[in-house]
A and B are shown apart, each in its own frame.
Chain A
Amino acid sequence: MLHRLNPSLKLAGLIIITTAILIYPSWRFSGLLLLLTIFGFKASNVPLDVSKRRIRFLMTFSALLFAFQVLMTVNGTILFFVIPKYDFMGPFLPVTDFGIEKGFEMSLRFLLVVFSSMLFVSVTDPTLLAHSLTRLRIPYRYSFALVIALRFLPLFDIENKTVRMAQRSRGISTSVRGMSKILRTIRYTFFPLLVSALSRVDALSLSMDGRGFGHSRTRTYLRKSSWTAIDSSVLVLLSMLLLASILLALGFLPQISAII
């Protein structure tokens, strides 16, 4: 279902969710939105374990964020000490209820931002996104920059492999031990890639100019994004979410803020 939504609406949704949890930074609110995001993965048939290594990395990183917040926060009701009292030493590193709350707040916020971004990327076609941005009166010449940038990615991937193989055949190995070796590695891999990339600029821009790119204020598209009644309904829901976060932050919804 999310695949069919307007790309600009999905981008707006991503921005609204990120803004809402900054306005009302409650861990329960973040947790609720995270559950909705995971439901979004399910509803869109996007497998969350598509890259298990990345998910594991994100979970480890969020656990580290949690631990950092817990140990940095000294106020609140002390639940226990990480290093208990021993003889005349300690206790050290108190763990408080407020610290745990802040830990959840930060780690869930991190997971929410990253997972909602992953969902957005999974269900959004960049070409349709560029088209929908032009419908928001962003000049197509600028929105097309995103399309070019994304279309060149596979090419750069192939060229990167070619450059590395070429350097290896010359006996140049990549190493990051020490600043001089980092700079050397960067020089031997970045420079050929950069020259290769920039040498395409003239050919591509001349080709685009030759086809009349930028000549007219409007242009035609092979594939277009559309705006439906469902998009309008989702926009209303997202606006309500943003409004609710503002009202919660200002304390106008005390009954709800007691729960989330």
Chain B
Amino acid sequence: MINLYKSNMRRLSRNPLFIGGLAIAFLATLAFTSNMIGLTGRFAAIENEERMFFISIAMMGFFTVFVPLFTNVEYGNGVIRNKLVAGYSIKQVFYSHLLAHASALFLMSAIYMLAGILGGAKISGSMLLKNTVLFFALCAYISVMLLLSIRVKKAVALIGYVFLVLMFSYSGVMTGNAIVSFVLKGSAKTIGVIIYNTIAFGQWFANLWFSSEEMNPGNATQLAISAAMIFATVFLGAFRLDKKDIK
């Protein structure tokens, strides 16, 4: 499987969308963190680190597009057949993509951190912790994208589904804020907060400076939720995957 991972990483390093994404991540983070673009109002009043964290959600948007495009090539171009003929299983192809995308996220996060620091964000324990939590939340989101990408072969249907997930993430968080704050009480509220934090967008929102504290169950809980999400989606993604017939 290490060979599959290496071949995916090579493809990643030559992917213009990924390279462009890294460049935009750097520039956007730098510009936003240092307020080069002349933001006013509440964005001007906050610390650089908060602005830096705010822009990090763009990575979620990027991987919504990148993961299906990168992985669907296996079916679209039929190259998954080459791997199966060589003796690999579809599960191994799936895991190699998972590792490759996690590596891509790591690279992008590193570029983002560098740009943030250059933009004036101060390195502190809480800043590193928040970004680590977001990293794992985005890993969970990527694993959901990958679950869809390995299961849905038709490109337009896949892109539709991933944007549907993005839309439900956004709508779920916006509605969830109101439901958790005004409707739910007691243990129902706790469950609501946990469900809210299963969404990467929810975890990001809960860590913003203006978010209500009751939406944030704590960094340890958020990390545990992300780990559980990754485990569940990887399990679902790989479930009976080798039983699929490939044409």
A is bound by B: no
